């Protein structure tokens, strides 16, 4: 039987009183103390209302029409659900033996109606406190049902004791039906839960039908019902005829399946008591079966809940594992893309280095040839000019002017060739193919090489301030200066150019700005010094939201086609390879500020010395 949540009726009292005057007086008294009172006029009506609600307490008059208060209490005690409901019996006065009979029937208290109302209220509150601790939280959908009894006997006109027995059973609160013809009984009677009797009383002394055969037939039906898991009804036989074979007849009766045999001579009251015992056992077995079914239902519900919780936990674990796998896959894919981009950029830089080295070599050969013969030409011109000085012909002055002009041009050519020679030297330094190896690098010289290669981009309007306060020598990779520093200075020049006004005609179309390179040693408490490069510019600076992503591969703020987004990502990786740090911030003048910090190492054998060689501050402007 399914369970339902118990409604809170602990303050609802069920008043069973047939007198309207007494009921009104008691009801007003109880409601004045905050109780909710539901009144019925008979014990049978009280039992019928228990399916609708369970009261916190039952107040019943002992003298009721039909079922009295004691019989009502007895019916409540026969049901497992209503067994704990307190019952308070009220009576008009003290009658001998009445209180004992009422308490023996299952009542919890016995109070005269003439008692002090305050005493009655105190007694009710005490019973309610006791009941509240044992009230069930879950109730079956059908809380209470009255016992059903079927009497198989001839019409009452033929048996005077039958109407008396039926009246006695009905006063006990039972539902009684009379079946004068057992031939009309069908097996379906035991399978109808709303009409199956709890006890069948058979008149074995009548001549209208064979009582033993009826017992056998009912017992066969009971065995079939027992196999289906139901609690079968009880069978009680009533015999009053004198029999010479009384012992043999009793044996045959019990073999036929009867549960109890009673003589009619005991009277209706004793017969009703024997029936009451059978009915109580039957109803107790019904309660035990219902409780077992409920226990099994709870176990199934608990197992289902546990299985569902395990399934949910398993799904959550699988979802978490899948999410973790997706994160790892996404991280591996991101690293693969970064590595691929860095490999492409490294390959480009290697190809560029080889190309630059080849071009520098090809330029250097004819340059060396020109430089070697330039001096010969200069000396030849000097000798010709000297020879012309001794001549006095009319064309002497014109030839001397031409020769002097040629000597000036040779001087100009020497200056241009020296610049080409310096450029080739810088290209050869930049294109070194051993950049991945750690070696001792002359920092000022490397930085000047970078500045020479960026002369065209810097132009004549961008000033570069140098403050070399760190040691000249640093044990590092050449890429730290050739790629990282060059990339940052190049980006600074682009930022300064992008920040110029649209109309630069007043400045002759020249971008103006300032870049500062500052090197110094940073000392910390752990004994490891850091070699620090600080590069600032006078550009527009970098927005805070962009600073968070500026070192991500393929992220760029330049227009489409103007940048790959790999320059700073590779620079960050190069600095990490030195176990250093690369950070970006805002310069005091409003531009960008890049800080590169790497552990300072003077070389494997301590080359370069621990003390810095300080260079004076200088300002240069690209020409």
Provide the pLDDT for residue 274.
Answer: 84
**How far, in Å, are 14, 445, 474 from residue 449 at the CA level?**
106, 6, 16
* Main-chain phi, psi angles of 520, to 5 degrees: -160, 165
Same structural domain, 572 and 452 = yes
Residue whose tokens read 């409780």? 291
Same structural domain, 371 and 490 = no
Bridge partners, 442 (sequence order): 473
pLDDT value at 557 more than 50: yes
What does the pLDDT look like over 453-495, one tens digit per residue? Answer: 788 788 778 888 999 999 888 888 776 677 788 888 888 888 8
* Residue 382 domain-assigned (yes or no): yes
* Residue 297 domain-assigned (yes or no): no
- 461/91 Cα distance (integer angstroms): 119
pLDDT value at 612 more than 60: no
User: Mapping DSSP to helix (H, G, I), strand (E, B) and coil, where does residue 390 land?
Assistant: coil
Tokens of 165: 């027995």
Residues spanned by the domain of 362:
313-431
CA dihedral 422, 424, 425, 431 (to 10 degrees): 150
Mean of per-residue pLDDT scores for the chain: 78
Provide the pLDDT for residue 434.
Answer: 47
Tokens of 96: 């001998």
Rounded mean pLDDT of 14-41? 90
Same structural domain, 460 and 582 = yes
- 432/487 Cα distance (integer angstroms): 17
Phi-psi region of 459 (alpha: psi -120 to 50; beta: other; left: phi over 0): left
* Residue 86 domain-assigned (yes or no): yes
* Residue 142 domain-assigned (yes or no): no
Same structural domain, 452 and 588 = yes
Same structural domain, 445 and 594 = yes
User: Mapping DSSP to helix (H, G, I), strand (E, B) and coil, where does residue 88 land?
Assistant: strand
pLDDT value at 623 more than 50: no
What does the pLDDT look like over 174-224, one tens digit per residue? Answer: 888 888 888 888 877 777 777 788 888 988 888 888 888 888 888 888 887
* Residue 296 domain-assigned (yes or no): no
pLDDT value at 137 more than 70: no
Same structural domain, 460 and 590 = yes
What does the pLDDT look like over 507-552, one tens digit per residue? Answer: 555 777 889 999 999 887 666 788 999 999 988 888 888 877 777 7
**How far, in Å, are 126, 352, 447, 575, 597 from residue 532 at the CA level?**
87, 28, 14, 11, 4
Provide the pLDDT for residue 357.
Answer: 66
**Beta-carbon-side half-sphere exposure of residue 44 (alpha carbons within 13 Å):** 12
Complete DSSP assignment for 342-363: HHHHHHHHHHHHHHHHHHHHHH
Domain count, the chain: 4
pLDDT value at 165 more than 60: yes
* Residue 620 domain-assigned (yes or no): no
Tokens of 275: 């029936």
Residue whose tokens read 């208060």? 69
pTM of the shown model: 0.41
Tokens of 49: 């209302």
Complete DSSP assignment for 576-604: HHTT-EEEEEE-TTSSEEEEEEEE----T
What does the pLDDT look like over 420-429, one tens digit per residue? Answer: 766 666 565 5
Residue 384 Cα to chain centre, angstroms = 98
Q: Residues near 374 by Cβ (< 8 Å), separated by ≥ 6? A: 410, 413, 414, 417
For residue 196, what is the domain's CATH number?
3.40.50.2300
Q: Residues near 178 by Cβ (< 8 Å), separated by ≥ 6? A: 150, 151, 153, 156, 162, 166
Nearest Cα residue to 514 out of 501, 531, 532, 499 = 499
Instruction: Of 78-82, 92-96, 147-151, 261-265, give the lowest mean pLDDT range.
Output: 92-96
Rg (CA), the chain: 58
* Residue 275 domain-assigned (yes or no): no
- Buried/exposed code over 411-427 (b: 16+ C-beta within 10 A; e: otherwise): eeeeeeeeeebebbebb
Neighbours of 81 (CB within 10 A): 18
Provide the pLDDT for residue 532.
Answer: 93
pLDDT value at 351 more than 80: no
pLDDT value at 613 more than 60: no
Which DSSP state fits 528?
-
Same structural domain, 181 and 260 = yes
Bridge partners, 202 (sequence order): 152, 237
Domain closes at, from 102, 133, 164: 133
pLDDT value at 589 more than 90: no
Residue 431 pLDDT grade (very low, low, confident, very high; cuts 50, 70, 90): low
* Main-chain phi, psi angles of 14, to 5 degrees: -100, 115
Tokens of 95: 């009658």
* Residue 16 domain-assigned (yes or no): yes
Rounded mean pLDDT of 137-151? 67
Which DSSP state fits 180?
S
Same structural domain, 124 and 153 = no
Domain closes at, from 381, 402, 431: 431
CA angle 145, 146, 152 (to 5 degrees): 130
Question: Do 437 and 477 contact (CB within 8 A), yes or no?
Answer: yes
Bridge partners, 40 (sequence order): 16
Provide the pLDDT for residue 16.
Answer: 92
Same structural domain, 202 and 117 = no
Range ranked top by mean pLDDT from 11-20, 345-354, 473-482: 11-20
Provide the pLDDT for residue 14.
Answer: 92
* Main-chain phi, psi angles of 360, to 5 degrees: -60, -40
- 402/483 Cα distance (integer angstroms): 49
Output 312 or 7, whichever has higher pLDDT: 312
Question: Do 179 and 166 contact (CB within 8 A), yes or no?
Answer: no
Provide the pLDDT for residue 611.
Answer: 40
Question: Do 171 and 67 contact (CB within 8 A), yes or no?
Answer: yes
Residue 594 pLDDT grade (very low, low, confident, very high; cuts 50, 70, 90): very high
Domain closes at, from 227, 243, 266: 266
- 182/40 Cα distance (integer angstroms): 37
pLDDT value at 499 more than 70: yes
- 304/311 Cα distance (integer angstroms): 10
Same structural domain, 477 and 526 = yes
User: Mapping DSSP to helix (H, G, I), strand (E, B) and coil, where does residue 521 land?
Assistant: strand
Q: Residue 87: enclosing H or E segment and its boundaries?
A: strand 87-91
pLDDT value at 15 more than 90: yes
Provide the pLDDT for residue 52.
Answer: 77
Q: At what angle do helices 161-171 and 268-389 cross, to 10 degrees?
A: 40
Which DSSP state fits 500?
S
Q: Residues near 601 by Cβ (< 8 Å), separated by ≥ 6? A: 474, 475, 476
Same structural domain, 112 and 153 = no
Same structural domain, 321 and 405 = yes
CA angle 60, 61, 67 (to 5 degrees): 85
- 353/349 Cα distance (integer angstroms): 6
Provide the pLDDT for residue 595.
Answer: 93
For residue 584, what is the domain's CATH number?
3.30.565.10
Q: Residue 520: enclosing H or E segment and its boundaries?
A: strand 513-522
Provide the pLDDT for residue 519.
Answer: 93
């Amino acid at each position: 039987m399914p369970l339902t949540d118990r409604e809170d009726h602990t303050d609802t009292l069920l008043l069973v009183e047939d007198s309207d005057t007494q009921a009104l007086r008691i009801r007003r008294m109880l409601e004045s103390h905050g109780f909710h009172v539901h009144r019925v006029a008979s014990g049978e009506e009280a039992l019928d209302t228990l399916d609708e609600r369970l009261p916190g307490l039952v107040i019943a008059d002992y003298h009721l029409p039909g079922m009295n208060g004691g019989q009502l209490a007895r019916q409540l005690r026969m049901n497992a659900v209503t067994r704990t409901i307190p019952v308070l019996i009220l009576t008009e006065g003290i009658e001998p033996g009445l209180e004992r009979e009422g308490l023996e029937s299952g009542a919890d208290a016995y109070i005269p109606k003439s008692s002090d109302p305050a005493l009655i209220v105190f007694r009710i509150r005490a019973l309610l406190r006791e009941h509240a601790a044992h009230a069930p939280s879950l109730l079956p959908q059908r809380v209470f049902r009255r016992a059903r009894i079927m009497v198989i006997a001839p019409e009452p006109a033929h048996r005077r004791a039958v109407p008396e027995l039926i009246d006695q059973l009905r006063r006990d609160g039972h539902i009684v039906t009379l079946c004068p013809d057992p031939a009309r009984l069908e097996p379906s009677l035991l399978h109808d839960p709303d009409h199956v009797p709890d006890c069948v009383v058979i008149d074995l002394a009548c001549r209208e039908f064979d009582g033993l055969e009826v017992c056998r037939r009912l017992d066969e039906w009971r065995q079939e019902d027992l196999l289906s898991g139901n609690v079968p009804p009880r069978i009680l036989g009533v015999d009053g005829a004198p029999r010479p074979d009384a012992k043999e007849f009793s044996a045959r009766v019990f073999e036929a399946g009867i549960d109890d045999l009673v003589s009619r001579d005991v009277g209706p009251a004793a017969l009703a008591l024997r029936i009451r015992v059978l009915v109580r056992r039957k109803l107790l077995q019904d309660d035990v079966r219902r409780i077992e079914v409920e226990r099994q239902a709870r176990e199934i519900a608990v197992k289902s809940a546990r299985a569902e919780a395990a399934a949910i936990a398993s799904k959550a674990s699988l979802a978490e594992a899948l999410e973790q796998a997706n994160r790892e896959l996404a991280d591996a894919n991101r690293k693969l893309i970064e590595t691929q981009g860095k490999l492409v950029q490294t390959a480009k830089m290697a190809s560029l280095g080889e190309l630059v080295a080849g071009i520098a070599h090809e330029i250097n050969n004819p340059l060396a040839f020109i430089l070697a013969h330039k001096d010969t030409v200069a000396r030849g011109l000097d000798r010709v000019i000297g020879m012309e000085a001794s001549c006095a012909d009319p064309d002497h002055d014109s030839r001397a002017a031409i020769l002097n002009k040629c000597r000036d041009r040779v001087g100009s050519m020497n200056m241009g060739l020296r610049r080409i020679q310096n450029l080739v030297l810088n290209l050869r330094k930049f294109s070194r193919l051993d950049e991945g190896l750690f070696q001792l690098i002359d920092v000022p010289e490397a930085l000047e090489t970078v500045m020479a290669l960026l002369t065209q981009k810097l132009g004549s309007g961008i000033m570069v301030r140098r403050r070399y306060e760190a040691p000249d020598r640093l044990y590092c990779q050449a890429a730290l200066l050739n790629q990282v520093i060059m990339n940052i200075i190049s980006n600074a020049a682009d930022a300064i150019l992008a920040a110029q006004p649209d109309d630069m005609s007043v400045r002759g179309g020249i971008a103006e700005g300032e870049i500062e390179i500052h090197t110094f040693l940073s000392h910390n408490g752990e004994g490891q010094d850091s070699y620090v490069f600080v590069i600032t510019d006078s550009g527009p600076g970098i927005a805070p939201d962009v600073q968070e992503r500026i070192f991500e591969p393929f992220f760029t703020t330049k227009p489409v086609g103007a940048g790959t987004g790999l320059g700073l990502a590779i620079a960050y990786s190069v600095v990490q390879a030195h176990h250093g740090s690369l950070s970006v911030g805002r310069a005091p003048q409003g531009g960008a500020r890049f800080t590169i910090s790497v552990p300072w190492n003077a070389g494997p054998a301590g080359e370069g010395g621990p003390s810095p060689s300080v260079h004076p501050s200088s300002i240069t402007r690209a020409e």
